[in-house]
A and B are shown apart, each in its own frame.
Chain A
């Protein structure tokens, strides 16, 4: 089945540690996105990528990094510089970045601090 796979489902980070969240899609979509959701809040855009080897910062990129070496994969690294990483992280994709195309989401990764 086509879809977006995020792993792991739950992740714990120790102080000073970098952690990487995985996002893979088999929808042949060019555009991929990372969002953060805090309790009782909407989603905020961290990074997005329109094409392989290219990505742009979203509204809250500080303390995060991404790569896009393959069309199918868009991993997110939460660095030690992100002082409040506890949140629900959602990966999404769309066929291209456009002004009419909805985005579809993976099941999310819940990150907590140990």
Chain B
């Protein structure tokens, strides 16, 4: 089992729709979760961080965390063509040799079409 696994893409949604990106992780003691957006040919850009169970909203983005299910998701409301990118889920290890290390999922490609 991969340490951080994202739903396989690519994901295509129409402009104005909600895009839902999902991620599961294997390290039960992890406490910190991040979503990065990466445009083609560019470096990852941090868009959301979440540390507690529940929802965290920032503009059109909502991150959801369920530690019992080891599941984190990102919802993008009112999707725009400019949201088209690869979204990377990342988890920081909380114990042992994993402490402080960021582990990434393979990424989900999102395409928002007009």
What is the bound-complex CA distance between A15 and B88, given in angstroms? 33
What is the bound-complex CA distance between A107 and B34, given in angstroms? 19
Is A107 in contact with B43, judged by CB distance below 8 angstroms? yes
* Majority-rule SS of A interface residues: loop
What chain B residues lie within 8 Å of A107 (beta carbons)? 42-43
Please pick, from A41, A102, A105, the residue contacting B49 in the complex, using a CB distance under 8 A.
A102
Chain B proximity of A91: nearest CB distance (Å): 9
In the complex, how many residues of chain B place their beta carbon closer than 8 angstroms to a beta carbon of chain A?
Answer: 25
Contacts A43-B44, A48-B101, A104-B46 given; indicate if A99 touches B32 (C-beta within 8 A). Answer: yes
Is A58 in contact with B101, judged by CB distance below 8 angstroms? yes
In the complex, how many residues of chain A place their beta carbon closer than 8 angstroms to a beta carbon of chain B?
Answer: 24
Is A45 in contact with B88, judged by CB distance below 8 angstroms? no
Is A100 in contact with B32, judged by CB distance below 8 angstroms? yes
For B94, the closest partner residue in chain A by CB is A99
Please pick, from B43, B93, B101, B105, the residue contacting A105 in the complex, using a CB distance under 8 A.
B43
Q: 25 A-B pairs, CB-CB below 8 angstroms?
A: A31-B100, A33-B102, A40-B106, A40-B107, A42-B88, A42-B104, A42-B105, A42-B107, A43-B44, A43-B102, A43-B104, A45-B103, A48-B101, A92-B102, A98-B100, A99-B32, A99-B93, A99-B94, A99-B99, A102-B34, A103-B102, A105-B44, A105-B45, A106-B43, A107-B42
